[in-house]
Amino acid sequence: MTKTDASGPPRGNKRGRPRGSRGVGRGARRATLGGDALRPTSEAAKRRRKTADGKQPLAQLDASAPVFFNRRLTGMQADSQRFVPQSEEEWQRFDAARAAAGEQPSATAAGGSAASSPSTPGAPTLGYQVKRIRLGTCEIDSWYVSPYPDEYSRHPLLYICEFCLKYMKSEYTYTRHCAKCPARHPPGDEIYRDGDLAVFEVDGRKNKVYCQNLCLMGKMFLDTKTLYYDVEPFLFYVLCEYSTQGYTFAGYFSKEKRSAQAYNLSCIMVLPSRQREGYGKLLIEFSYLLSRKEGVAGSPEKPLSDFGLLSYRSYWRRALYEILVTVPSISIAELSRRTGMTIDDVVSTLQTDGMLQRTGRLGAYRLVADRERVAAYLARAQEKNPRRVDAKKLTWAPFLTKSPFVVAPSAAPEDEEEEEEAGAGDSASELSV
């Protein structure tokens, strides 16, 4: 019973309610609205509640009950396992689709190991890789994986400015950049121009971002390239084609500023869209022109790739034949001085062509060449690759001043006989027809 006061309402709690009368609370409201009408008591609701708590597997869930993603997906729609291949035939179709998309095939359900992706040009080697680049008006397929940042590597098509080599993800950004980009040629000094071709010397320390972008793009077409970001010790020589829009990129080669092994070339690359035009041999000849200008004998960085060795042997053979066809007798040292090649490269080329023969004395050789064969080779080479470097159009000073060639004066035939008898056949060679 509630105590009452004769002069007022019954005394209760602070809100003025009588004790024992709590009014219409939450429990009372449930009873008023039908008791357990709002409480999920069905078996499906219990399973949904347990699944939401993570206490019941997805397989035991009612497939027709919307539970996941704010009750928007049913159990069947949310079950991702139904998209995993189950049979051998489904796994084969899955791997074929991934291979067509350029990804590495996964291990099959039968326990087979994952197939290794090919490393030949045109075949991607990783799942995330830039498949193509757009450079100016050309779209070029990549050959190898280049370590672009992850946010760029996930895009199959990368847009690159043909003047500053900045890379972008979207066509919209690329279009706006091309409209505002002030660059119309590579940074650095233009040291050579012949018609519509020009060569720029770019210092990796002064133009670090440009050289890094150049190396990243070059790695897409070079399998053994390892230099990407440490570009400060290198000089880059960029070959461009001149047009009314500016100097468009065609290829480049790099060299160390200070090379302990006297390397005159570290890396060389010509765009696939500019190949078969003689630009590779032109860059090789240009590197030897710089070596002759410096006064030292140069050689490319070893080891050479298979294609690089073929290109260099072709250039070495042509450079030596152009001298041999004009002189009756010459020494190996003189050939090295005139061509800028090292003595090892000169001897290797002559031995490959079978032009060095022993004379019977220890360490004595003579150079034997067929003038008709040499002239026929030069005619074919000129017809196939007419582009040559004109040394008169080079405006350049060496980065470092080095000592000039030290070559002994030409000896008379009698002196050559004495040198051969003394065993110094490497410095005196005879051309026989």
- Per 3-state DSSP, the chain is made up of helix, strand and coil in percentages (nearest 5) of 35, 15, 45
**Cα distances (Å, whole numbers) of residue 138 to 111, 158, 161:** 43, 12, 11
Dist CA 52 CA 47 (whole Å): 8
Select which of 256, 277, 301, 417 is catalytic: 301
Would you give the DSSP letter of residue 11?
P
Q: What is the DSSP string of 101-124?
A: TT-PPPPPTTSPPPPPPP-STTS-
Cβ atoms of residues 350 and 367 within 8 Å: yes
Beta bridge partners of 368: 432
Beta bridge partners of 242: 247
Cβ atoms of residues 323 and 338 within 8 Å: yes
Give yes or no: 301 in active site. Answer: yes
Dist CA 153 CA 143 (whole Å): 14
Cβ atoms of residues 254 and 234 within 8 Å: yes
CB-based contacts of 233, cutoff 8 Å, min separation 6? 204, 256, 257, 258
The structure tokens listed for 399 are 């980065």
Q: Map residue 265 onto helix, strand or coil.
A: strand
Dist CA 331 CA 350 (whole Å): 12
Locate all alpha helices (DSSP H) within 157-301, ordered by sequence.
171-180, 208-219, 279-294
Please count the other Cβ atoms lying within 10 Å of the Cβ belonging to residue 53: 8
Please count the other Cβ atoms lying within 10 Å of the Cβ belonging to residue 37: 8
Cβ atoms of residues 207 and 200 within 8 Å: no
Dist CA 148 CA 151 (whole Å): 8
Cβ atoms of residues 286 and 197 within 8 Å: no
The structure tokens listed for 344 are 């090892």
Residue 181: closest CA among 245, 225, 127: 245
Amino acid identity of residue 233, one-letter, is: P
Q: Spell out where 44-93 has E strands.
A: 66-67, 73-74
Q: Indicate which residues carry an active-site annotation.
A: 301
